[in-house]
Structure 1
Amino acid sequence: MKATLLPPPPPAKRRRGPRVAVLALFLCSLLVPLAFLFDRSQSGYVTTDERRRQEVVLPEFHHVEKADGDGTVNGLNQDAPKKTPKVNSGGLQKHKQTDRHTSRISTKPKVLPSPKVDPSEAVKESTQGTREVSKVRKRLDKGTNTDEVENEKACQLEFGSYCLWSREHKVVMKDSIVKRLKDQLFVARSYYPSIAKLEGQEELTVLMKQNIQDHERVLSVSTVDADLPSFINKKMEQMEQTIARAKSCTVDCRNVDRKLRQILDMTEDEAHFHMKQSAFLYNLGAQTLPKSHHCLSMRHYVILSKNILAASVVINSTVNSSKDPKKIIFHILTDAQNFYAMKYWFDKKSYREAAVHVVNYEDIIKEKLTKFNVRHLYLSEEFRVLVRSTEQPAGKTRMEYLSLFSHSHFFIPEIFKDLNKVVVLDDDVVVQRDLSFLWSLDMGDKVNGAIEFCGLRLGQVRNLLGSTTVDTKSCAWMSGINVINLDKWRKHKVTENYLLLLKKFLTKDETSLRAAAFPLSLLSFQHLIYPLDERLILSGLGYDYAIDEDVARSSAALHYNGNMKPWLELGIPSYRRYWKRFLTRDDKFMDECNIIP
């Protein structure tokens, strides 16, 4: 069989399609990582933090940050068209931390075209993008209020009322240079691990490490610009030059990106920690404020005294009779001569959990209340009054000691401007029962809660009250224990009225000035007295021998008004024992005091 030879087939045409596809895939594999790194239009990295975050999508290129000193908003010049950022060979453009509100999009990074773009086209695209974004923002503006409300609720849910407080008390911190230092340190730390691995860059590595340590040392002691040293500008310039040299080196961009993410996550975690710590300290501060600042149950007692033993007995008896002494604060007004002795005594002594505050009355008047001319401390004034009985035809008379406020009492609202209610105690009072019920009294519009003494009416001393119009049927009142509503005092301008009345009375010397306390006290509180129960305090233990001891023993308080004070030898012996049992007898100085056992 003869074989027939066929002509060879024509050569097939070479197919170039697969080779082009392979080349394109190879180029894409190189461009995708670069596009991922240089994509500045959105947060292109994928978050790996498992902690819950609030995702908020914002339009790109429209996050407005604080303007720099040259009028350029961070990353976006308002006056010049946007320029295409330069890309260093193998390097990474300076990383700027985006705002916390910028979204983290967990999608594939956007593939950018080649960075070589004509400037005119870039301007055109930027302008067009801005217009499109403006349209998008107009559509989103309707839901802005809703988003703000939701963010506020989430903030309150996590950090409580601290969020509202921090926003209301937000102040502009003067730390712009400090923030720039932190930004430089942020970038330098991200480049340092990659530079340290490069051969031949030992000098740059040492220089970067030194600059990083210098920045850390400065920031450890500086929180605002005023704390920074004078040479800080030179340090910042050196760091900027070092960072520029690092950017010019060929480094592994993945390492720099990984380090940036790590530092960013650490910064966010630290900020979250400080936010939680601030919220905790805010709540702690609100709970541990001194009770006198915010708790209405604190009870302030005011005592005017020049006698250490007398004041000590008043405080000791009040504290021992109180059911809750830790809520009691005593303010002792004394003169300059006895101030340091008083302060030494009460600083050394402890009256259970009560607080004792000694005030130099004369210094306060001279330094802070110069408009008042009564600069010496005056204690409660006692006036001997002969009262004639109108029930018996023979007109039998009896003697009473009427104690009233002195001139110094009228400046209590000015001295204690932050208080709204006090109880004034005379230093010749002994408390035998708990007085906490006085703080719950509703005195209405009255100013002074006092014991009325209707054995003497203003009509009976009309000749001593001057030309001022008076209610002749009004009863006199007594000091000893007085509940003073300082808010009502200021409302009725009692101190101002007292000063006007003082000008009408001739006070040539100290004797006439002290005598003027009688009409001034009665007239200044006319129609402003709230009558207390007469059983609250038993008066007359300084002059009346006829008081039943059973009555004295059962009374809530004892008032030793009269000239026979219990600390004097001429004190009435049967009444002195109620006073002496509250003396501090274990003190070594007590042996030198002339106290009759």
Structure 2
Amino acid sequence: MKGYAAAAAAPPGKRRWRCLAVAVLALVFCSLLVPLAVLLGLHHNRFPSGYLTDDHSASEFSFGVYEHLDGGRKHSSSQGDGSRIDDLVKKLAPTFAKDLTTNIASQSDGNEYEKNGRFTSDNVQASVPPKGAVYKNNTAHYKNRDTQQVVSREASSLNTKSDGIDWKENVTEGSAGDESGKSCQLLFGSYCLWSLEHKEVMKDSTVKRLKDQLFVARAYYPSIAKLQGQEKLTYELKQHIQEHERMLSEAISDADLLPVVDKKIQRMDEIIAKAKSCAVDCHNIDKKLRQLVDLTEDEAHFHMKQSAFLYHLGVQTMHKSLHCLSMRLTVEYFKSSSVDMELPDADKLENPNFHHYVIFSLNVLAASVTINSTVMNSEESENLIFHLVTDRQNFYACKHWFVRNRYKEATVHVLNFDDLKTEHLNNLGIQQLSPSEEFRVSIRNTARQSPMLMRTEYISVFGHSHFLLADIFSNLNKVVVLDDDVLVKKDLSFLWNLDLQGKVIGAVQYCRVRLRQLGAYLGGLKHDANSCAWMSGLNVVDLEKWRDRKVTEVYHGLHRKFHNGSEASWRAATLPTTFLAFQDLIYPLQNSLVQSGLGHNYGVTHGALKNAAALHYNGNMKPWLELGIPKYKKYWKKYLTREEQFMSGCNVNP
């Protein structure tokens, strides 16, 4: 019985031992699983800064905001901090509802072309033209449009005049381009030009030097510690690693470092040189140093993405002071007597004997500078009639501004585009004011001295509203069309005696871009390949010849070919319709008449600025923005109406 009892009592003890063994195994498994999960989580989140030891490709940090186009395939967006910015972009996208980003065409030649500027989450594709890529952006409130991007597949022609512009900027692009030859401007637009000019001297360079030395020393230490006879070097390397760690734990900037830091850096360089002279297995060292390069590139890419976003946000959103000015003027208009709003010189508005200027604008401050500069440099201001065409949102502000502010004897007539009744308005589907459009054109570079495959040019063309000129001003024979980012420096009265030799429009040609380089975007329609592109900004228009040549009807036919029903394609179609509608109808004005590029080019010479009759601030860096180019802003600010009380009340100080 005793033996039986002992035998019966044995199994519970064994069972308890087995339970304990299973519990221990489970604990060991969990202790291994938790660190592994943490490491995988860090690898997935991709911290944007700091020296991490995970291995990954820099290509993972792709630009989700600047969507890639490669044969119609979309590339995935970045993870971690990159996705946070993408989420922010998507939240901001509804505020730019009127400013759709358009991609015309889905075919590329193996390169990845990225959007410039407007950060919207949707990529609306149109059906024409069949090749290339066009990226379109407009602002809803005032003329400060980011440029459309056109990537040309044709070889470029460099046999043109520089027009006072230092074209070294195209070579400068190479410093910011990638190894495939794509320039920084192709990827980020005019942000690259702005960032190069505003590059600051590196701060806290000593702290960064300490971090770099520490990373290299840590990379070599495990391999040196395994070598026989290198105990002294191992000890010194370990000692200096600890000293660097201690200094970096107490210092955030160079000012926090002790005076002996230079000696520490020099000594660490000597020890690292000794470590490099030893025969070690280079695999681990190479792996860790590659991690340093990858992390540095990823961090730079991430911060460039952030900076480009903030730049374009500042360029394309209305400054609160300008919004305040427009709202204050609108409120004041309705407080004023309607009698005071009547135009005293109404009989001049349709008299063809006066000099009539037309401005399409959504920015009262910009339009006022254009008008003021024209009047101040005119010998006979009483002959000047300005027709300012704006939309309903800005109509009352503009009207009240020009009642409060007189410019010598000139007459300013403000028209509400939304109230215009013209023959072609409904047929063309133009439901909102469309001022001149700006394009950023990337062309294959054939210059042997240039290391880049692409060069970037900026052009501006008529908007859709310009094709209603003959209808809006049916009683006039000739007008001069000005953009609101144009500053007039000389008397323009000679333009009224200019013989256009049977042509419809006089414009400054831009032969750095020819139609053969834009052939893919002209819908396969017949065109003169050697014709130069031309610029809006300052244009003489013969309305009689316009009506005889039926330019509006020609435009209407082209509009049907390039417009597929969406607002995005309607806006982007201004490039082909403008060049094709005025084909063989352009009278070339002297290149020195208008100096363009002041909204993107830092290299315009002083002589070109002095000799030009007008300055055109085409580009993103408009003079009324804080991001405007300082050395050109002084010319524009000279014609601001400083005594206006609403200017000081709204803190308008460009």
TM value normalised by structure 1: 0.50
* Pair member with larger Rg: 1
